[in-house]
Structure 1
Amino acid sequence: MTRVKICGLMDPADVDLCVRAGVHAVGFVVDYPVPVPWNLTPSKARDLINKVPPFVNSVVVTGGPPEKIVELANTIRPDIVQLHYKETLADVKEIACRLDRMGIKAIKALRVNNEGKCDFEIANPVAAAKALSETKIAAILVDSYTAVRPGGTGIQVDRGVFKEISEAVSLPLVLAGGLNPANICQIIAECKPYAVDVLTGVEETPGRKDPEKVNQFMKHAAQL
């Protein structure tokens, strides 16, 4: 089965909902550099992560310079840190190495716009993925990107671009962007990602998950 992460959790009820639905990872947006609806303080995120049971991964989604990321990770102690902003290749290398020594894995998001270019110092997604695969990150997350919102866009990534990346690197790939219960079966069948990451596609309102959508998403994802 393709692994599933549900992101943007903000309260214990939604953590419990996702765990009961069978998700493999739960994501918390923490101290994100620009305003987004799901942003948590480190103390709030730590409290929620303490409620995540064994065998479900906790993921902190954030961005910024290495010192900030490492300090945040040391405070919250998640299983994984997802770098989802404008980190440079040098930043990613440093952060991944320092987190590795702490026993925390790092994932880097490649945010691709509708022209097929990355919001990264290496604009070509395949070249960027190859460069990132030389660092100590554990996986690459391929997400959509707009100038208005850096994540949670509800817009799908070009599947052709995702396939090109998957053919070019051996790192596990996580697919995000525009996923929902109605399209997840087709997308998993076509793209065959290691994991998928959903946020707005299972929401009732920003920051509040819809139980029916969460359960239907997991039901359909489990079919493949």
Structure 2
Amino acid sequence: MLVKICGVARLADAEALDGLVEYIGFIVEPTSPRAVMPEALGALRAAVRRSRTVLVTASLPPKAAVDLAAESDISVVQHHGALAEEDYDYAASRGVALAPVAVYRPGADLRAAVEELLRRPHEYVLVDADKSSQERYEGGLKIPLAALRQVVGLGKVAVAGGVAPENAHLVAALRPYMVDVASGVEASPGVKDMGKVRALLKALGRG
């Protein structure tokens, strides 16, 4: 099971996480408390030599996000928005992989959404919670385990949404391709807590 730590905004955190987890994510949304300014991406990227790097955005047009990733030598764009066929083609032409996102919403067909995204070229498909929802499920997760069970075996499916050291064992039992964590391993927004990171890895059977 792979691990992505998202919302990395400090050079010290990027250096500490490098090689410890498979993916390190940089958020370029100005409204995020974990936002990284585009001009800071180069230094953060340079600190990462062993893990793969991910540019995370919702508001940037897909091609602009791909361009920013390519210019910053970032491997993957995780886009929390709609992606057209031409976006996949453009990303491939720039040597950048795409990681599309399926959002869990009660009553919606999550499995169908994930299956559709898996049909296109992808680094992974992220299953995430609706950012506007305050709902909590088993162990404080933002997506019910029953919904996750329907999709984790379909392919390279990553799971996010309230994952933390305290509940990671619940997700680990489902054996997803990857677990994606941001706030669950922080001392404060944008400041990672390496003790919590180690506790997360242990809960996932990696410590």
Indicate how the Cα distance of structure 1 residues 67 and 79 shifts in structure 2: closer, same or farther if over 3 A, else same. closer
Q: Distance in 1 between matches of 2:144 and 2:114?
A: 15
1:159 to 136, 140, 145: 145
* Paired residue total: 201
Q: Distance in 1 between matches of 2:142 and 2:152?
A: 16
| Aligned partner of residue 165 in structure 1, secondary structure | coil
| Aligned partner of residue 164 in structure 2, secondary structure | coil
Gaps of 5+ in 2: 135-139
| Aligned partner of residue 38 in structure 1, secondary structure | coil
User: Could you state the TM-score of these two structures normalised by the residue count of structure 2?
Assistant: 0.87
State the superposition RMSD in angstroms. 2.1
| Aligned partner of residue 213 in structure 1, secondary structure | helix
* Structure 2 counterpart of 1:141: 126
* Structure 2 counterpart of 1:107: 99
Gaps of 5+ in 1: 118-123
Give aligned-pair identity as a percent. Answer: 29
* Structure 1 counterpart of 2:4: 5
| Aligned partner of residue 166 in structure 1, secondary structure | coil
Q: Distance in 2 between matches of 1:9 and 1:3?
A: 17
Q: Is the 8 A contact 1:116 1:158 kept in 2?
A: no
Give the C-alpha shift of residue 138 in structure 1. 2.5
The 5-angstrom pairing of residues 1-224 of structure 1 reads 2-19=1-18, 22-30=20-28, 32=29, 35-54=31-50, 56-63=51-58, 64-84=60-80, 86-88=81-83, 90=84, 93-113=85-105, 115-117=106-108, 124-147=109-132, 155-167=141-153, 169=154, 171-189=155-173, 191-223=174-206
Indicate how the Cα distance of structure 1 residues 218 and 166 shifts in structure 2: closer, same or farther if over 3 A, else same. closer
Q: Distance in 2 between matches of 1:110 and 1:116?
A: 14
User: Could you state the TM-score of these two structures normalised by the residue count of structure 1?
Assistant: 0.81
Deviation string 1:35-74 (CA, Å, 9 cap, x unpaired) is 11111111212210111013x1111111332332232222
Deviation string 1:71-116 (CA, Å, 9 cap, x unpaired) is 22222221111112x324x2xx322222122222110111213x24
